[in-house]
A and B are shown apart, each in its own frame.
Chain A
């Protein structure tokens, strides 16, 4: 496999990992998409199904915890 293919696949894997460990932020981002009619309706429907599946796994919101820790540690609002 070419190095650039491995790079791209790792980026996708990281995106999936980020989605799994980021609470509902990806769902919020999908709802923030432009209105594309049937296209975004289909994407939203697909993401909602995946989010339901993810909720069943009861994964922690690692992103939220990291965010709280950083903001508290640096005194950021």
Chain B
């Protein structure tokens, strides 16, 4: 089920009403939200509900087992191996088999390998990461283990963040399960603003940019020229921001209406003055997850300069590989890691760029690296870079004024002062609940009327 659809609106209206009715009955409310989350997930493919249940059961069992000194290490190791095994099999099996076949070509072992095609379950990366963080946090003593399996099941399956994040930490979410906050006027106002801004980013900016510009250009890079390649590169930078931060905004707003608070996942990332600052502003829940559970265990800031640079490059390359089983994602991660290492060295040498130059340089670097991220193959990536050198493109789409306006709106969202949003929230918080709901409903209606027929899935669903 995708957020900007009538199906989701109907589903959520029912869940919101039942959640309100079950508010004072903790066990009933948990059961309701778990059931709703599994229904939400089953709409894609009910067969994978069992997989999510398995991951939840492993996390719950491991959480209890790591409390016993004798079982601590084996339980943690087995649980993380099981979760990474599930993730690795569903996400990377095809990639490894294909790579193996390509490696064997031209050798005495060359043969046509046959293997089953594995379907990638939606959101598997997100819920396995949450499960891993639960086991790790219990093991580190940050949170006590939950005896009630329903608590862990709800933490892992909670539908607003299930398929594309934000990755919520157990230490932040689990205490809320026992005592969610009934949404007051301020929380409802924040939720309304988040849901509306998320829908606008996704349904209007991201979807139109995708159809009018990005898809036609990336779909046929050999027929493009410098202007179409440039516009599509910038367009994709805006599209992925609006698509993904739009999803996060809706998820946070929906959770808020149910009584649960998530941290912000994007903080105007294209205003960043450095790559390091960019990763502190982009997909914050994933960046911090990678820092805490990958970068620091790999060595973090310990060791020599060379060692630290190696760690950051390795971490980002693995983060790239997490995004997708393909060389283009590995390249994307590697160059981000290399960029961070270079930036760190420049900082040590006290090299500082003027603020505006630093922002533009960061944006250009990030936008260029979105090319391999968006391209479906390494060949397509090279094709896009080649397009920048051509003066004419026989298959370039018309770069209309609408396209430039959409890009400008997307970039403006990174530059508008944050207190504008606070003003909107404060204004809405002064209104009664009936007016708040009416404004939400009317503007959703206008958004649906502005959008194209049919809504493309969110980009991050594939990860």
Instruction: Please give the residue numbers on chain A whose beta carbons come within 8 Å of chain B beta carbons, in ascending order.
Output: 2-8, 10-12, 14-15, 17-18, 25-26, 29, 32-34, 63, 66-67, 70-71, 74-77
Complex-state Cα separation, A10 to B433, whole angstroms: 8
Complex-state Cα separation, A27 to B298, whole angstroms: 54
Using a CB-CB cutoff of 8 Å, which residues 166-208 of chain B contact chain A?
Answer: 182-185, 188, 208
Count of B residues near A, CB < 8 Å?
A: 34
A14 pairs with B438, CB closer than 8 A: yes
B436 at the interface (CB under 8 A from A): yes
B402 pairs with A74, CB closer than 8 A: yes
A15 pairs with B432, CB closer than 8 A: no
In the bound complex, residues from chain B placing their C-beta under 8 Å from that of A77 are: 212, 452
Chain B nearest CB, measured from A24 CB (Å): 12
A-B CB contacts (within 8 Å), total count: 83
Interface 1/0 per residue, B438-463 and A, CB below 8 Å: 10111001101110100000000000
A63 pairs with B449, CB closer than 8 A: yes
Q: Which 9 pairs show the lowest CB-CB distances between chains A and B?
A: A14-B441, A10-B437, A29-B6, A7-B433, A67-B449, A3-B433, A6-B433, A66-B449, A7-B437
Can you list 10 pairs linking A and B with CB atoms under 8 Å apart?
A: A3-B433, A4-B183, A6-B437, A7-B183, A8-B16, A8-B17, A14-B441, A15-B13, A63-B448, A76-B452
B7 at the interface (CB under 8 A from A): yes
A18 pairs with B445, CB closer than 8 A: yes
B7 pairs with A29, CB closer than 8 A: yes
Q: Secondary structure of the A side of the interface? A: helix
Instruction: Please give the residue numbers on chain B whose beta carbons come within 8 Å of chain A beta carbons, in ascending order.
Output: 5-7, 9-10, 13, 16-17, 20, 42-43, 182-185, 188, 208, 212, 402, 432-434, 436-438, 440-442, 445-446, 448-450, 452
